Amino acid sequence: MDVLEPFHYDFFRHGLIAAALVGALCGLMGVYIVLRRMSYIGHGLSHAVFGGAVVSHLMGWNFYIGAGLWGFLSALLIDAAARRRRIGSDAAIGIITTSSFALGVALISRGRGFTRNFEAALFGNILGVTAADLWVIGTVAVAVAVFVFFAYKQLLFATFDPEVAPVYGVPSRLIDALFSLALAATIVASMNVVGVTLIAATIVIPPVTARLLSDRFSRVLLGSSALGAGIGVAGMYLSYHFNIASGASIVLLGAAVFMLALTYSATRRRSLPALAMRTARPASPPAPELLD
């Protein structure tokens, strides 16, 4: 088996770059999503974006612009609904995103002629990624990284203590709006790579895995991005040799890495008390000759 064989093909190289960029992007955004206890939003918002993709297709709009705006508005609606005490974030996500997805399904069922056009959006088609798609994914990745870099402290404060943050001058509403925009752009850029059905896993698995390996936020942030990129590249490579869907390969590899990290973390926790007991033992009494 020639290990370098797939690198001879342009479509594979494009897919590999896309998998690395999407993996790093989802890993970066996933840290804040997990900390906000909104892991379900990746799954839900991807379904909402699917509805926007169908609408943009029918209206003749650009896919990225139409789906991105739809996802952004859906994220803002979720955030606004979640702020109401009687509506939790999970309920808001469920109502808004499933309604949007149902709209997309209804429109597709009415116009059956373009059903196949949305198979890539549902299940991903990383081997069909074009140079234009790479430019879009790269632009989104750079824009999100710049946003996280310059709003690092404000975003961190708004994530850990959203109620107290405005008291210290943090514009929480603006930060949340920009975060919603970044999340919508991330999901739209990732749709053609892993598909609507698997985006949630690529957003959640890397940060949770990185959290098992470190307690420092900065390390978790960098580790999650690195894990996402590495899993994306390795999963893409394995999908070629085992002839399975690239999105499924990436998610399955991520799940395997998570299980390894979970096992390592559990073993390490069990060994720490024993090590602490050994180091805390009282020193041996001095030899008799030293007491003379």
Note the pLDDT tens digit of each residue in 87-101. Answer: 666 777 778 888 888
Maximum average pLDDT range among 52-56, 178-182, 189-193, 253-257? 253-257
Percent of the chain with pLDDT over 90: 26
pLDDT band at 82 (very low <50, low <70, confident <90, very high): low
Confidence check: pLDDT of 176 > 90: no
Least confident segment among 20-34, 66-80, 198-212: 66-80
d(CA 125, CA 228): 18
Domains and CATH numbers, the chain: 5-274 (1.10.3470.10)
Q: Nearest Cα to 222, choosing from 25, 28, 36, 19? A: 28
Cα→Cα distances 190→21, 194, 250, Å = 9, 6, 13
- Asked whether residue 63 carries a pLDDT value surpassing 60, the answer given is yes
Handedness of CA 38, 65, 143, 119 (dihedral sign): positive
Phi, psi of 86 (to 5 degrees): -80, -10
More confident residue, 103 or 274: 103
Task: Tell me what the pLDDT averaged over the chain comes to.
Answer: 82
Do residues 46 and 104 make contact, with C-beta atoms less than 8 angstroms apart? no
Residue 134: what residue type?
L
Cα dihedral sign, 243-247-250-253 = negative
**Which residue matches tokens 């429109």?**
107
Q: Over the stretch 125-156, which tens digit does the pLDDT of each residue have? A: 777 788 888 999 999 999 999 999 999 999 98
Checking if the pLDDT of 291 tops 50, the result is no
Helix, strand, or coil here: 1? coil
